[in-house]
């Protein structure tokens, strides 16, 4: 838990740094845009004076002319407005943003070439700073996205894959369903018939599977796989169904994910995470009574079937065969089973019951590391535009 909190803190610090870098970039961009307008207007004035110069006494090149020119009269715009007024207006806007007093602009200074060149050089230097800032923001944004992917790998691999593949979950609207009868295709709109069609279809998904135990018994390969391990002491599981203590419950509650869909009661994980001591004691009493009676309460056995589109490239088109169901179970029941899974995981890990290649949600065993390596290779290839 401490590691997760540390990651969240580092992520917040990095996001805060990115925010300030973006603000800095935007400020520099505003300054640069105003300064660019001033420089563009000054160059327009100089070019006009170059065109109307006295050729005999003027330098032979525009560059030398600019160096020697002291602008006494700023002239007017194409619409007859004084250029000086426009430059002063731009300078005022500039001075409101520029915090460095050394960089403040004075129109009188701009009459001389040395100050005009300084302004021009400053714009070029600022563009370099902005480019570096832009790259820094991109790099840090990539870093924070990599960190988020790592957290998703640890906490919610499904969410990570959805983000990488840019999957968007489509809402299923069952106001009409495709019906196939005797080679004809029609759209059923009657609510009761739609309800029955959904029940009939999803009953096949949850139908009891008939497993031929005799086939396992007489098949040498399967018999060896399913044969009980004689080296395992059955008393290791003796405490698996012992009375659950409050600290076990609180450990699970503290690690629950938020914003998850609840079961039929509408009670979400968020409710249990924010619950007070009395509520937790009641929940613990119900769980322990269910353990003692070896039977869960009736409401905990019910689930809410929710259809989702199983095609990612097309719309489900009101066709039930293009959907698959997920079952939303009661969160209280899931909390109970999480406690039992933690206990079982401890037993399997401490006693090394499973083989090293079995990653069945055991502590300190995970496919996270190889997946992380692959993800970093992909990120590096994308960033440096090379093959992975």
Residue 75 φ/ψ, nearest 5 degrees: 70, -160
Asked whether residue 179 is domain-assigned, the answer is no
- The predicted-structure confidence for 260-294, as pLDDT tens digits, reads as follows 888 989 999 999 999 999 999 999 999 999 999 88
- The predicted-structure confidence for 222-248, as pLDDT tens digits, reads as follows 777 777 777 888 888 888 999 999 999
CA distance 189 to 64: 84
- Which of these ranges, 76-90, 263-277, 305-319, has the smallest mean pLDDT? 305-319
- Which of these ranges, 66-75, 138-147, 151-160, 303-312, has the smallest mean pLDDT? 151-160
User: Which pLDDT value is given to residue 323?
Assistant: 86
Shared domain for 78 and 159, answered yes or no, is yes
Most confident of the following: 148-162, 218-232, 320-334: 320-334
pLDDT higher than threshold 80 for residue 125: yes
User: Which pLDDT value is given to residue 158?
Assistant: 62
Shared domain for 246 and 150, answered yes or no, is no
User: Which pLDDT value is given to residue 161?
Assistant: 59
Asked whether residue 118 is domain-assigned, the answer is yes
- Global pTM reads 0.51
Shared domain for 134 and 263, answered yes or no, is no
User: Which pLDDT value is given to residue 332?
Assistant: 94
- Which of these ranges, 3-17, 55-69, 359-373, has the smallest mean pLDDT? 3-17
Shared domain for 23 and 117, answered yes or no, is yes
Per-residue HEC secondary structure of the chain comes to CHHHHHHHHHHHHHHHHHHHHHHHHHHHHHHHHHHHHHHHHHHHHHHHHHHCCCCCCCCCCHHHHHHHCCCCCCCECCCCCEHHHHHHHHHHHHHHHCCCHHHCCCCCHHHCHHHHHHHHHHHHHHHHHHHHHHHHHHHHHHHHHHHHHHHHHHHCHHHHHHHHCCCCCCCCCCCCEEEEECCEEEEECCHHHHHHHHHHHHHHHCCCCCCCHHHHHHCHHHHHHHCCCCCCCHHHHHHHHCCCCHHHHHHHHHCCCCCCCCCCCCCCHHHHHCCCHHHHHHHHHHHHHHHHHCCCCHHHHCEEEEEEECCCCCCCCCCHHHEEEEEEECHHHHHHHHHHHHHHHHHHHHCCCCCCCCCCCCCCCCCHHHHHHHHHHHHHHHHHCCCC
User: Which pLDDT value is given to residue 314?
Assistant: 64
- Which of these ranges, 41-45, 104-108, 181-185, 352-356, has the smallest mean pLDDT? 352-356
- The predicted-structure confidence for 132-148, as pLDDT tens digits, reads as follows 888 888 888 877 777 76
Asked whether residue 222 is domain-assigned, the answer is no
Asked whether residue 383 is domain-assigned, the answer is no
Asked whether residue 306 is domain-assigned, the answer is yes
Q: What is the mean pLDDT of residues 53-66?
A: 74
User: Which pLDDT value is given to residue 244?
Assistant: 95
- Which of these ranges, 160-169, 176-185, 354-363, has the smallest mean pLDDT? 160-169
Shared domain for 250 and 157, answered yes or no, is no
Shared domain for 52 and 154, answered yes or no, is yes
pLDDT higher than threshold 50 for residue 320: yes
User: Which pLDDT value is given to residue 383?
Assistant: 83
- Domain boundary residue, one of 117, 143, 165: 165
Shared domain for 160 and 238, answered yes or no, is no
Shared domain for 20 and 142, answered yes or no, is yes
Shared domain for 32 and 111, answered yes or no, is yes
Domain count, the chain: 2
Give the distance from CA 345 to its chain's centroid. Answer: 30
Asked whether residue 117 is domain-assigned, the answer is yes
Task: Considering only residues 378 and 230, tell me which one the structure prediction assigns the higher pLDDT.
Answer: 378
Q: What is the mean pLDDT of residues 77-91?
A: 86
Asked whether residue 384 is domain-assigned, the answer is no
Shared domain for 113 and 15, answered yes or no, is yes
**Mean pLDDT of all residues in the chain?**
82
Segments forming the whole domain that contains residue 84: 1-165
User: Which pLDDT value is given to residue 6?
Assistant: 42
Contact 236, 348 (CB under 8 A): no
Asked whether residue 288 is domain-assigned, the answer is yes
């Amino acid at each position: 838990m401490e590691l997760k909190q540390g990651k969240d803190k580092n992520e917040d610090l990095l996001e805060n740094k990115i925010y300030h870098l973006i603000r800095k970039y935007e400020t520099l961009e505003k300054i640069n845009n105003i300064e660019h307008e001033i420089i563009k207007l000054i160059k327009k004035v100089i070019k006009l004076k170059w065109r109307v110069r006295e050729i005999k006494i003027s330098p032979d090149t525009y560059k030398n002319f600019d160096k020697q020119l002291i602008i006494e009269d700023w002239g007017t715009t194409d619409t007859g407005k004084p250029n000086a007024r426009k430059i002063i207006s731009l300078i005022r806007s500039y001075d409101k943003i520029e915090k460095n007093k050394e960089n403040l602009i004075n129109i009188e200074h701009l009459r001389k070439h040395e100050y005009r060149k300084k302004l021009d050089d400053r714009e070029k230097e600022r563009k370099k700073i902005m480019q570096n800032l832009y790259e820094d923001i991109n790099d840090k944004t990539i870093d924070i996205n990599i960190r988020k992917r790592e957290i998703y790998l640890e906490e919610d691999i499904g969410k990570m894959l959805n983000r990488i593949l840019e999957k968007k979950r489509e809402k299923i609207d069952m106001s009409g369903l495709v019906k196939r009868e005797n080679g004809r295709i029609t759209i059923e709109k009657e609510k009761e018939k739609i309800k029955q069609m959904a029940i009939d279809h999803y009953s096949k998904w949850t139908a009891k599977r008939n497993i031929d135990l005799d086939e396992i018994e007489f098949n040498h390969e399967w018999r060896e796989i399913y044969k009980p391990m004689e080296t395992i002491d059955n008393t290791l599981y003796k405490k698996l169904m012992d009375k659950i203590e409050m600290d076990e419950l609180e450990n699970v509650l503290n690690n629950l994910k938020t914003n998850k869909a609840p079961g039929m009661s509408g009670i979400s994980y968020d409710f249990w995470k924010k619950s007070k001591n009395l509520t937790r004691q009641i929940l613990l009493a119900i769980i322990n009574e269910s353990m003692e009676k070896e039977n869960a309460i009736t409401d905990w056995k019910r689930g809410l079937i929710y259809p989702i589109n199983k095609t990612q490239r097309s719309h489900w088109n009101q066709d039930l065969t293009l959907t698959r169901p997920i079952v939303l179970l009661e969160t209280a029941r899931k909390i109970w089973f999480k406690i039992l899974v933690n206990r079982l995981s401890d037993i399997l890990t401490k006693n090394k019951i499973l083989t090293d290649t079995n990653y069945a949600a055991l502590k300190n065993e995970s496919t996270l590391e190889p997946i992380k390596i692959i993800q970093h290779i992909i990120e590096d290839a994308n960033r440096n535009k090379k093959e992975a």
